[in-house]
Amino acid sequence: MKKLYILRHTKKEDEDLNIDDYDRNLSKEGIEEAEKIAKDFANKNLKIDLIVASPANRTRQTAEIFAKYLNYNKTVMLNDVLYMAFVNELLETISYTFDTIDSMMIVGHNPSLTALAVTLVGFKEKFQMGGIMEIDFDCDSWIDISKENAKLISYEVPK
């Protein structure tokens, strides 16, 4: 059994023509929201073997907040592919994960995450900022994940 958590970053700073989108940070509200979501998530006592995030500032910050609250003492893996990724690139990133990893969290952006959720579990909504989805796969290798062996366990959005 493999478990995937898909997490979209929380609220980012307002657009500034002098700052590239990639370099936009979480807003103060986004930081507080990420901390609340991470704290609630950590209270479930779930095990995360690997956190992979887009290196864009806001996703990196969201991933680091989750790592702190989850007592994740490994390095958050930053993967350039996750910024503005096509769904096939996300699937490839997940599929190439070592099988010693049983649960992983992907921290990224829309529209990529919505496309991933649609592809894996037929999700019918837009993946909201701060939304987190849990998917179980009935397989022993990440390379074998597919819509056929995926089961949506939960999708939670900030309140």
Owning domain of residue 81:
2-11+22-156
Question: Is 133 inside a domain boundary?
Answer: yes
Question: Is 44 inside a domain boundary?
Answer: yes
Question: Is 17 inside a domain boundary?
Answer: no
Question: Is 128 inside a domain boundary?
Answer: yes
Q: Cα(first)–Cα(last) distance of the chain, in Å?
A: 30
Indicate the number of domains in the chain: 1
pLDDT value of residue 129: 95
Tokens of residue 136, six digits? 């179980």
User: Taking a C-beta distance cutoff of 8 angstroms, is the pair 33, 11 a contact?
Assistant: yes
pLDDT value of residue 20: 83
pLDDT value of residue 77: 96
**pTM, 2 dp:** 0.94
pLDDT value of residue 117: 97
pLDDT value of residue 22: 86
Question: Is 16 inside a domain boundary?
Answer: no
pLDDT value of residue 65: 97
pLDDT value of residue 6: 98
Question: Is 119 inside a domain boundary?
Answer: yes
pLDDT value of residue 19: 78
Given a cut of 70, the residues of the chain with pLDDT beneath it are 17
